Amino acid sequence: MQTEELGNRILNGDRRALARAITLVESSRADHRAEAAALLDRLRGAGRQAVRIGLSGTPGVGKSTFIEAFGMMLIGLGLRVAVLAVDPSSTRSGGSILGDKTRMERLSRERSAFIRPSPSQSHLGGVARRSREAVEVCEAAGFDVILIETVGVGQSETVVAEMSDLFVLLLAPAGGDELQGVKRGIMEMADIILVNKADGDLKPAATRTCSDYAGALRLLRKRPQDPEGFPKAMMVSAWQENGLAEAWEEMCHLVDWRRENGFWDRRRAEQALYWFDQEVRQALLARLATPAAKAAMARLSDRVAAGELAPASAAEEMLSTHLAG
Ligand code: GDP
């Protein structure tokens, strides 16, 4: 299928075209990369925007239960929901696969939902690019909300925050030193903290945890992109489907406020620049990773180590020979 036709079908809401386009953006073959780039430019022209929600939480906190319940609620409101995942570890761990349809059975049967597991790549940069482009394809396909799920470990939150309009951190109730468990940097990224499992025996602990986080959030520096009262901590029970509508209301309030005050467009522009920079860096590194470049690097390294060549001259020689396309 020609890129033009594929693009038209996606814009018309054809699900098979959507799945095919995502497979295309996930491919690393050079000809597929060129097609994917043309397709994304075509789709961008349609100017459609979804609300992109990044969602992070450690395994077991209730991400898939939450996404299923939250997604079903959104569908009940007449919205179309896509779920994507960013999980650089999925190939290695063999553990729970983010975005796995069997973990969201009801949602996966809905015609207004689209669920795509994380691309299997162990390199975060590769997963990030593919997921970001999948987000763009889903957006063009007319989804209203795109949930981008990630695990609460390492660098993947940063990557997800750079492709989301708002970032939600899902936590479980716990006693004692809970606050120590969440890295400050991750807390600073959150627009909304949701303390899940606020039900049954866990309710008192959830209430305590939620007020601890609300207190901690108040201590953070006020960010210009936030309306009064944000970032905020709230309680939900994904299981009992409590607090989900309230959480969505707060998200909508945040989105509307940012749109009205120019922060929405500004953030999207900053993100585009961030990814442009990342693409340039990755392309440069790829050119230095060819067999010939690696061999030259090894030769030059020996000479630098032996003191025959200054590091700067060796670098200059490396770049002048191997950076040209
Ligand atoms: P994930 O690994 O973050 O995707 O977590 P899951 O959605 O698989 O949930 C992990 C466990 O927590 C499962 O046993 C769920 O039944 C349970 N769970 C999820 N949400 C809730 C909730 O709101 N309340 C309670 N009590 N348990 C929950």
- Rounded to whole angstroms, how far apart are CA atoms 102 and 108? 8
Spacing of C-alpha 312 from chain mean position: 37
Same domain, 93 and 212: yes
Q: What is the pLDDT of residues 179-214, one digit of tens each?
A: 656 777 788 899 999 999 999 999 999 999 999 999
Domain for residue 267, yes or no?
no
Under 8 Å between Cβ of 78 and 44: no
Q: Are residues 17 and 119 part of one domain?
A: no
The rounded distance, in Å, linking the Cα atoms of 293 and 322 is 6
Q: How many domains does the chain have?
A: 3
Q: What is the DSSP letter of 303?
A: H
d(CA 297, CA 276): 26
Our mutation pick for probing the ligand 1 site, out of 55, 61, 65, counting the most ligand atoms within 8 A of Cβ, is: 65
Residues spanned by the domain of 42:
1-46
Ligand 1 atom closest to 96 (CA): 2
| Average pLDDT over every residue of 166-177 | 83
Residues 13 and 63 in one domain: no
Residue 192 to residues 214, 245, 246, 253, 281, Cα–Cα distance (Å)? 10, 14, 12, 12, 32
184 in the same domain as 107: yes
- Are residues 231 and 211 part of one domain? yes
Does residue 40 sit in the same domain as residue 72? no
Domain assignment present for 276: no
d(CA 244, CA 194): 10
Residue 92: pLDDT band (50, 70, 90) is very low
Claim to verify: residue 38 and residue 55 sit in the same structural domain: no
The CB of 194 under 6 Å from ligand 1? The reply is no
**303 and 253 together in one domain:** no
d(CA 221, CA 308): 51
pTM of the model: 0.90
| pLDDT over 90 (residue 238) | yes
Is 172 contained in some domain?
Answer: yes
Same domain, 3 and 143: no
- Give the range among 86-100, 107-121, 298-312 with minimum mean pLDDT: 86-100
Are 32 and 145 in a shared domain? Answer: no
Judgement on whether residues 42 and 164 belong to the same structural domain of the protein: no
How far is it, in rounded angstroms, from Cα 306 to Cα 284? 27
Interval 283-292 mean pLDDT: 88
Q: Would 266 be classed as within a structural domain?
A: no
From the alpha carbon of 238, which atom of ligand 1 is closest? 23
Query: Last residue of a domain, which of 9, 28, 46?
Result: 46
Report residue 189 CA to chain centroid gap.
13
State the SS3 of 120-148.
CCCCHHHHHHHHHHHHHHHHHCCCCEEEE
Q: Which of 130-134, 159-163, 220-224, 232-236 has the lowest mean pLDDT?
A: 220-224
- Provide the token pair at 23: 């497979």
205 domain residue, yes or no: yes
Which residues touch 117 (CB under 8 Å, ≥6 apart)? 85, 90, 97, 98, 99, 100, 101
ipTM: 0.99
Indicate the residue among 212, 243, 260 that finishes a domain. 260
Residue 199 CB contacts under 8 Å (≥ 6 apart), including other chains: 206, 237, 239, 240, 242
Q: 150 CB less than 6 Å from ligand 1?
A: no
Token readout for 87 is: 């999980």
23 and 152 share one domain:
no
Within 10 angstroms of residue 40's Cβ, the number of other Cβ atoms is 19
Question: By C-alpha distance, which of 162, 219, 211, 165 is closest to 187?
Answer: 219
- CATH number, residue 112: 3.40.50.300
61 close to ligand 1 (CB < 6 Angstrom): yes
Confidence (pLDDT) at 93: 45
